[in-house]
Structure 1
Amino acid sequence: MESCCQPTTQANSRVTLCPTCHENGRSVPIITLKSLLKPDALSMLHPKLKYFFCSTSTCEVVYYSEANTFKTQDMKVPVFQKDNRVQVPVCYCFEWTRERLNHAVEEKNDPIQFIREQVKADRCGCEVNNPQGACCLGNVTSFIREIEKNENTIMSGRHYE
Protein backbone atom coordinates (compact mmCIF):
# COMPACT_ATOMS: atom_id res chain seq x y z
CA MET A 1 0.00 0.00 0.00
CA GLU A 2 1.27 3.47 -0.87
CA SER A 3 1.80 5.93 1.95
CA CYS A 4 -0.85 8.63 2.09
CA CYS A 5 1.83 11.27 2.46
CA GLN A 6 3.75 10.31 -0.69
CA PRO A 7 3.20 12.15 -3.99
CA THR A 8 0.13 10.91 -5.82
CA THR A 9 0.34 9.00 -9.05
CA GLN A 10 -0.83 10.47 -12.34
CA ALA A 11 -4.11 8.52 -12.15
CA ASN A 12 -4.92 10.11 -8.79
CA SER A 13 -4.24 13.67 -9.93
CA ARG A 14 -6.91 13.76 -12.64
CA VAL A 15 -9.19 16.73 -12.10
CA THR A 16 -12.89 17.11 -12.86
CA LEU A 17 -15.57 19.66 -11.96
CA CYS A 18 -17.94 19.52 -8.99
CA PRO A 19 -21.52 19.35 -10.27
CA THR A 20 -22.66 21.95 -7.71
CA CYS A 21 -19.96 24.65 -7.54
CA HIS A 22 -18.22 23.78 -10.84
CA GLU A 23 -14.77 24.00 -9.26
CA ASN A 24 -12.02 21.47 -9.84
CA GLY A 25 -12.08 18.42 -7.62
CA ARG A 26 -9.37 15.93 -6.77
CA SER A 27 -9.55 12.17 -7.11
CA VAL A 28 -9.99 10.42 -3.78
CA PRO A 29 -9.46 6.72 -2.96
CA ILE A 30 -12.65 4.69 -2.52
CA ILE A 31 -11.37 3.54 0.91
CA THR A 32 -11.73 7.15 2.09
CA LEU A 33 -15.43 7.19 1.28
CA LYS A 34 -15.94 3.74 2.80
CA SER A 35 -14.26 4.95 5.99
CA LEU A 36 -15.94 8.32 6.37
CA LEU A 37 -19.47 8.12 4.98
CA LYS A 38 -22.35 7.51 7.38
CA PRO A 39 -24.10 4.16 6.86
CA ASP A 40 -27.09 5.59 4.95
CA ALA A 41 -24.78 7.39 2.53
CA LEU A 42 -22.46 4.40 2.26
CA SER A 43 -25.38 2.30 1.02
CA MET A 44 -25.59 4.66 -1.98
CA LEU A 45 -21.88 4.34 -2.91
CA HIS A 46 -20.96 2.92 -6.31
CA PRO A 47 -17.55 1.40 -5.45
CA LYS A 48 -16.48 0.86 -9.07
CA LEU A 49 -16.80 4.57 -9.93
CA LYS A 50 -14.10 7.20 -9.55
CA TYR A 51 -14.93 9.79 -6.87
CA PHE A 52 -13.63 13.31 -6.39
CA PHE A 53 -13.26 15.58 -3.36
CA CYS A 54 -14.61 19.12 -3.56
CA SER A 55 -12.60 21.48 -1.33
CA THR A 56 -14.65 24.61 -2.03
CA SER A 57 -15.58 25.97 1.40
CA THR A 58 -18.97 27.32 0.31
CA CYS A 59 -20.08 24.11 -1.44
CA GLU A 60 -21.94 21.48 0.59
CA VAL A 61 -20.72 18.66 -1.69
CA VAL A 62 -17.79 16.68 -0.29
CA TYR A 63 -17.57 13.78 -2.78
CA TYR A 64 -18.99 13.35 -6.25
CA SER A 65 -18.92 10.98 -9.20
CA GLU A 66 -20.78 10.69 -12.46
CA ALA A 67 -23.63 8.95 -10.59
CA ASN A 68 -24.03 10.71 -7.23
CA THR A 69 -22.87 13.25 -4.69
CA PHE A 70 -22.27 13.10 -0.95
CA LYS A 71 -22.64 16.21 1.18
CA THR A 72 -21.31 17.38 4.53
CA GLN A 73 -24.29 15.87 6.35
CA ASP A 74 -23.33 12.45 4.91
CA MET A 75 -19.98 12.51 6.70
CA LYS A 76 -18.99 10.91 10.01
CA VAL A 77 -16.54 13.77 10.64
CA PRO A 78 -16.55 17.50 9.99
CA VAL A 79 -14.62 18.50 6.87
CA PHE A 80 -11.79 20.99 7.53
CA GLN A 81 -12.26 22.80 4.22
CA LYS A 82 -16.00 23.26 4.81
CA ASP A 83 -16.30 23.81 8.56
CA ASN A 84 -14.47 26.71 10.21
CA ARG A 85 -15.11 25.79 13.85
CA VAL A 86 -11.98 25.77 16.04
CA GLN A 87 -12.47 22.16 17.18
CA VAL A 88 -12.45 20.78 13.61
CA PRO A 89 -9.30 18.78 12.81
CA VAL A 90 -6.73 20.11 10.38
CA CYS A 91 -4.77 16.87 10.90
CA TYR A 92 -7.23 14.01 11.37
CA CYS A 93 -4.74 11.27 12.24
CA PHE A 94 -3.29 13.02 15.29
CA GLU A 95 -6.21 15.31 16.21
CA TRP A 96 -4.52 18.61 15.48
CA THR A 97 -7.54 20.92 15.54
CA ARG A 98 -7.43 24.62 14.69
CA GLU A 99 -7.58 25.32 18.41
CA ARG A 100 -4.73 22.94 19.26
CA LEU A 101 -2.58 24.34 16.43
CA ASN A 102 -3.20 27.88 17.69
CA HIS A 103 -2.05 26.88 21.18
CA ALA A 104 1.02 25.10 19.81
CA VAL A 105 2.08 28.17 17.83
CA GLU A 106 1.52 30.41 20.88
CA GLU A 107 3.70 28.08 22.94
CA LYS A 108 6.36 27.93 20.19
CA ASN A 109 5.87 24.19 19.64
CA ASP A 110 6.27 22.65 16.18
CA PRO A 111 3.28 20.51 15.19
CA ILE A 112 4.65 20.10 11.67
CA GLN A 113 7.76 18.38 13.00
CA PHE A 114 5.62 16.13 15.19
CA ILE A 115 3.43 15.13 12.23
CA ARG A 116 6.48 14.54 10.01
CA GLU A 117 7.95 12.23 12.65
CA GLN A 118 4.68 10.27 12.76
CA VAL A 119 4.59 10.02 8.95
CA LYS A 120 8.21 8.86 8.91
CA ALA A 121 7.31 6.19 11.49
CA ASP A 122 4.48 5.07 9.16
CA ARG A 123 1.76 5.99 11.66
CA CYS A 124 -0.43 8.25 9.52
CA GLY A 125 -3.64 6.97 8.00
CA CYS A 126 -4.82 9.94 5.99
CA GLU A 127 -6.52 7.76 3.38
CA VAL A 128 -9.00 6.56 6.03
CA ASN A 129 -9.05 9.52 8.45
CA ASN A 130 -8.82 12.67 6.32
CA PRO A 131 -11.90 13.44 4.16
CA GLN A 132 -9.66 14.65 1.34
CA GLY A 133 -8.07 11.19 1.27
CA ALA A 134 -4.57 12.62 1.19
CA CYS A 135 -1.87 13.92 3.49
CA CYS A 136 -2.84 16.83 5.73
CA LEU A 137 0.61 18.43 5.97
CA GLY A 138 -0.25 21.02 3.32
CA ASN A 139 -3.36 22.06 5.27
CA VAL A 140 -1.45 22.18 8.56
CA THR A 141 1.40 24.21 7.05
CA SER A 142 -1.00 26.70 5.42
CA PHE A 143 -3.00 27.07 8.61
CA ILE A 144 0.12 27.71 10.72
CA ARG A 145 1.42 30.26 8.20
CA GLU A 146 -1.92 32.08 8.45
CA ILE A 147 -1.70 32.08 12.27
CA GLU A 148 1.86 33.44 12.11
CA LYS A 149 0.91 36.05 9.52
CA ASN A 150 -1.95 37.28 11.71
CA GLU A 151 0.32 37.22 14.77
CA ASN A 152 2.94 39.31 12.95
CA THR A 153 0.31 41.81 11.83
CA ILE A 154 -0.92 42.21 15.41
CA MET A 155 2.62 42.31 16.87
CA SER A 156 3.77 45.00 14.44
CA GLY A 157 0.98 47.26 15.64
CA ARG A 158 -0.28 47.96 12.15
CA HIS A 159 -3.42 50.01 12.11
CA TYR A 160 -5.54 50.54 9.07
CA GLU A 161 -7.30 53.86 8.79
Structure 2
Amino acid sequence: MCGISCKDVENKTLCHQVRFPENYELSSEKYYFCPSKECTVGYFSSTGHIIPKQRLRTYQEINDDKLCYCFDINADQYLSALHANNSDAVKSFVIQKTKSGDCACDIKNPSGQCCLAKFKILERLGAR
Protein backbone atom coordinates (compact mmCIF):
# COMPACT_ATOMS: atom_id res chain seq x y z
CA MET A 1 0.00 0.00 0.00
CA CYS A 2 2.88 2.38 0.69
CA GLY A 3 4.73 1.42 -2.48
CA ILE A 4 8.06 0.26 -1.05
CA SER A 5 9.70 -3.03 -1.92
CA CYS A 6 8.91 -5.84 0.53
CA LYS A 7 10.41 -9.27 1.17
CA ASP A 8 8.48 -12.46 1.62
CA VAL A 9 8.45 -14.19 5.01
CA GLU A 10 8.33 -17.81 6.05
CA ASN A 11 5.11 -19.20 7.44
CA LYS A 12 6.69 -19.79 10.86
CA THR A 13 7.63 -16.08 11.10
CA LEU A 14 4.06 -15.17 10.33
CA CYS A 15 2.62 -17.63 12.86
CA HIS A 16 4.85 -16.30 15.64
CA GLN A 17 4.31 -12.63 14.83
CA VAL A 18 0.56 -12.49 14.22
CA ARG A 19 -1.60 -12.49 17.34
CA PHE A 20 -4.29 -15.04 18.02
CA PRO A 21 -6.87 -15.63 16.54
CA GLU A 22 -5.52 -14.30 13.23
CA ASN A 23 -2.49 -16.63 13.39
CA TYR A 24 -4.87 -19.55 13.78
CA GLU A 25 -6.72 -18.55 10.61
CA LEU A 26 -3.74 -17.87 8.29
CA SER A 27 -3.82 -19.41 4.87
CA SER A 28 -0.77 -21.07 3.34
CA GLU A 29 -0.31 -18.38 0.69
CA LYS A 30 2.90 -16.34 0.48
CA TYR A 31 3.04 -13.24 2.68
CA TYR A 32 5.28 -10.18 2.59
CA PHE A 33 6.39 -7.89 5.43
CA CYS A 34 6.29 -4.12 5.03
CA PRO A 35 9.23 -2.60 6.95
CA SER A 36 8.03 1.00 6.63
CA LYS A 37 7.34 2.37 10.08
CA GLU A 38 4.79 4.78 8.62
CA CYS A 39 2.77 2.05 6.88
CA THR A 40 -0.07 0.44 8.83
CA VAL A 41 0.23 -2.84 6.91
CA GLY A 42 2.29 -5.48 8.67
CA TYR A 43 1.90 -8.36 6.25
CA PHE A 44 0.08 -8.76 2.98
CA SER A 45 -0.42 -11.59 0.53
CA SER A 46 -0.40 -11.58 -3.24
CA THR A 47 -4.16 -12.23 -3.12
CA GLY A 48 -4.79 -9.05 -1.11
CA HIS A 49 -5.09 -10.42 2.43
CA ILE A 50 -3.78 -7.74 4.82
CA ILE A 51 -2.67 -8.06 8.44
CA PRO A 52 -2.27 -4.65 10.12
CA LYS A 53 0.83 -3.94 12.20
CA GLN A 54 -1.42 -3.44 15.21
CA ARG A 55 -2.16 -7.17 15.10
CA LEU A 56 1.51 -8.12 15.45
CA ARG A 57 3.14 -9.13 18.72
CA THR A 58 6.05 -6.78 17.96
CA TYR A 59 3.87 -3.77 17.13
CA GLN A 60 5.31 -1.60 19.92
CA GLU A 61 8.87 -2.71 19.15
CA ILE A 62 8.41 -1.71 15.50
CA ASN A 63 7.24 1.74 16.64
CA ASP A 64 10.24 1.98 18.99
CA ASP A 65 12.69 1.32 16.10
CA LYS A 66 13.85 -2.05 17.39
CA LEU A 67 17.13 -2.89 15.71
CA CYS A 68 17.79 -6.36 17.14
CA TYR A 69 14.70 -8.25 18.25
CA CYS A 70 16.67 -11.18 19.67
CA PHE A 71 18.76 -9.15 22.10
CA ASP A 72 16.49 -6.14 22.65
CA ILE A 73 18.64 -3.43 21.06
CA ASN A 74 16.92 -0.43 19.54
CA ALA A 75 18.28 2.00 16.97
CA ASP A 76 18.76 4.85 19.45
CA GLN A 77 20.85 2.64 21.75
CA TYR A 78 23.12 1.63 18.88
CA LEU A 79 23.44 5.20 17.61
CA SER A 80 24.40 6.26 21.15
CA ALA A 81 27.02 3.51 21.22
CA LEU A 82 28.33 4.76 17.86
CA HIS A 83 28.71 8.29 19.19
CA ALA A 84 30.38 6.98 22.38
CA ASN A 85 32.79 4.83 20.34
CA ASN A 86 31.36 1.69 21.96
CA SER A 87 29.51 0.26 18.98
CA ASP A 88 32.08 -2.44 18.23
CA ALA A 89 31.29 -4.19 21.51
CA VAL A 90 27.55 -4.13 20.85
CA LYS A 91 27.85 -5.34 17.28
CA SER A 92 30.44 -8.00 18.22
CA PHE A 93 28.07 -9.34 20.86
CA VAL A 94 25.28 -9.75 18.29
CA ILE A 95 27.64 -11.30 15.73
CA GLN A 96 29.02 -13.76 18.30
CA LYS A 97 25.51 -14.76 19.46
CA THR A 98 24.37 -15.14 15.85
CA LYS A 99 27.34 -17.36 14.97
CA SER A 100 26.73 -19.55 18.01
CA GLY A 101 23.08 -20.03 17.07
CA ASP A 102 21.69 -18.08 20.02
CA CYS A 103 19.47 -15.84 17.93
CA ALA A 104 15.94 -16.43 16.69
CA CYS A 105 15.59 -13.85 13.94
CA ASP A 106 13.32 -16.11 11.93
CA ILE A 107 10.57 -15.81 14.56
CA LYS A 108 11.44 -12.77 16.72
CA ASN A 109 12.09 -10.30 13.88
CA PRO A 110 8.83 -9.51 12.02
CA SER A 111 10.79 -9.49 8.75
CA GLY A 112 12.23 -12.92 9.53
CA GLN A 113 15.63 -11.49 8.56
CA CYS A 114 18.87 -11.10 10.50
CA CYS A 115 19.42 -7.59 11.87
CA LEU A 116 23.13 -7.30 11.08
CA ALA A 117 22.50 -5.46 7.81
CA LYS A 118 20.57 -2.82 9.77
CA PHE A 119 23.64 -2.26 11.97
CA LYS A 120 25.62 -1.33 8.85
CA ILE A 121 22.90 1.07 7.70
CA LEU A 122 22.93 2.83 11.07
CA GLU A 123 26.72 2.99 10.98
CA ARG A 124 26.53 4.87 7.67
CA LEU A 125 23.84 7.19 9.03
CA GLY A 126 25.71 7.75 12.30
CA ALA A 127 28.88 8.66 10.43
CA ARG A 128 27.15 11.67 8.88
Q: Is the shorter-chain TM-score for this pair beyond 0.5, marking a shared fold?
A: yes
**Residue of structure 2 in register with 1:142 after alignment:** 121
Runs of 4+ in 1 over 6 A off after TM superposition: none
The answer to whether 1:59 aligns with 2:39 is: yes
Give 5+ residue unaligned stretches, structure 2. Answer: none
The answer to whether 1:73 aligns with 2:46 is: no
SS in 2 for 1:33: helix
1:91-106, aligned counterparts within 5 Å? 91-106=68-83
Q: 1:127 aligns with which of 106, 124, 128?
A: 106
1:27-46, aligned counterparts within 5 Å? 27-46=8-27
* CA RMSD, 1 decimal: 2.0
**How many residues are treated as equivalent by the alignment?**
125
Shift of 1:79: 7.0
**Residue of structure 2 in register with 1:113 after alignment:** 92
TM-score normalised by the chain length of structure 1: 0.69
Shift of 1:23: 3.2
For residues 92 and 41 of structure 2, the distance between their equivalents in structure 1, rounded to whole angstroms, comes to 32
- Answer yes or no: is the 8 Å Cα contact 2:79–2:122 preserved in 1: no
Deviation sequence 1:52-81 (CA, Å, 0-9, x none): 11223332111111251111101111377x
Point out which structure has higher relative CO (alpha carbons under 8 A, 6+ apart).
2
Identity of aligned pairs, percent? Answer: 26
TM-score normalised by the chain length of structure 2: 0.84
Deviation sequence 1:90-138 (CA, Å, 0-9, x none): 0111111123213322332212222111111111110011011111111
Q: Which structure's residues are more often helix, by fraction?
A: 2
For residues 106 and 25 of structure 1, the distance between their equivalents in structure 2, rounded to whole angstroms, comes to 31
